[in-house]
Amino acid sequence: MSIPVVDLSHFTSQNENLKTKFVSDLGKAYEEVGFVAVKNHGISDDLISRMYTEVEHFFSLPEATKRQYEIPGLAGQRGYTSFGKEHAKGFSSADLKEFFQLGQENVPGSLLDVPYPDNVLVAEAPKFTPVLLEAFRSFEKTGLDLMRAIALFLELDEHHFDDQLINGNSILRAIYYPPITSEPASAIRAEQHEDINLITLLIGASADGLQILNMQGEWVSVTSLPEQIVVNVGDMLQRLTNNRLRSTTHRVVNPPKEKWSSPRYSIPFFFHPKLNTSLACLESCISESNPKQYVDYTAGEYLDERLREIGLK
């Protein structure tokens, strides 16, 4: 499936016509598909290359070494999560993956109800966390531009979401899907799910497998060009917009049997607001024809509920 493509440089330019068209095209793509490919996204090729090099290095470490960086009590929100721990909401079989998560660092003077956990440094891969943190900052900047465009599409002030997004509870996740060595009992690499957060930014994975469930109820494979990132709507944005922008169901399927020996790496950035952010439906998205669909939650309450549902808490 060729998903809609937008050029982020049109939004960040000084050309109001290009900016207006970007906002319209992005909103239309999210209303009709739920995924969009973004070019000129501002995340450099050099950074992407260094990130994949460090990610591959980390996951090649011995299992016992990696498990030293699995932090009890954090529900996988920082450090390593070993193979078979996470499953999709509503499924009992674990996904065929392991991952490492890096999050927001505490900023002096930032008003947070609860400080963020410390990020985890890996002694055996000293460049790993610094490179991931550099990528985190780059993703965060791109995500903020996209959320500003979404605010305009929703006829809000461009900076409506800024206060809750800047220094928000975002996560960069490096995922490793090991080679498949025997017939999986029931799980695929990542069972069908919707993301928890506002939007997800995904650099092209190292192997095919991503599929989305389209409006006709069909699973279709998603591909993007190397210079593009894929960005999709998550559940928090669906709640905020009272289903105007819907979180798209997606999954990662196993490769053909002849490619079972190939691992897969994927690095999504989950753009979250601060934990105390209200996810109450926006008044502008509630009408007589579309009454309020959700009870009020904070982002922290919703995240806690979902972490329990997917087996991390």
Please give the pLDDT value at position 75: 86
User: Percentage of the chain with pLDDT > 70?
Assistant: 94
Reading across the β-sheet that carries 210-213, which strands appear in turn? 190-193, 250-252, 210-213, 219-221
Q: What six digits make up the tokens of 257? A: 């049997």
Please give the pLDDT value at position 1: 57
Q: What six digits make up the tokens of 199? A: 């939007």
Number of domains in the chain: 1
pTM of the model: 0.91
Q: What is the mean pLDDT of the chain?
A: 89
Which range marks the domain in which residue 185 is found?
Answer: 5-309
Please give the pLDDT value at position 62: 97
Q: What's the mean pLDDT in 48-67? A: 96
Spatial distance between the Cα atoms of 174 and 220, rounded to a whole number of angstroms = 24
Please give the pLDDT value at position 111: 63
CATH code, domain carrying 51:
2.60.120.330
